[in-house]
Amino acid sequence: MASKRHSSRSQTFSARAESETLPALSSYLLSLIAIKQSNLCVSADVHTTSALLRLAEEIGDSICLLKTHADIVDDFSDRTIKGLQDIAKRKYFLIFEDRKFGDIG
């Protein structure tokens, strides 16, 4: 028996973003994908705040999500967080923190 395709797979990202049953964050991400016409996510494997902020500034207009790794940023601080938040708001992308060593016991 052939599996049935989920109805959302035939909808545009914009249409999917408008679903009333979708969580707000999911809706926002789908809206970003539609607006930017890209679903690009970049993993920022850099070791300093200045390198992280510079990367976010350079690629922010082209991405929907920036995956960060606070565990490997040597000088991670409130300045790092504030800087990323400011750039993300201005360039319209989400920040996803990937705790590199969070699952190592």
Burial class (CB within 10 angstroms; exposed 0-12, middle 13-18, buried 19+) of 103: exposed
91: annotated active-site residue: no
To the nearest 10°, report the CA torsion of 8, 10, 12, 18: -30
- Side-chain-side CA neighbours of 5 within 13 Å: the count stands at 5
* Tokens 């993300």, located at residue: 88
**Active-site entry in 4, 67, 91, 100:** 100
Q: Angle of helix 49-59 relative to helix 78-91, nearest 10 degrees?
A: 0
Q: Which residues are catalytic?
A: 100
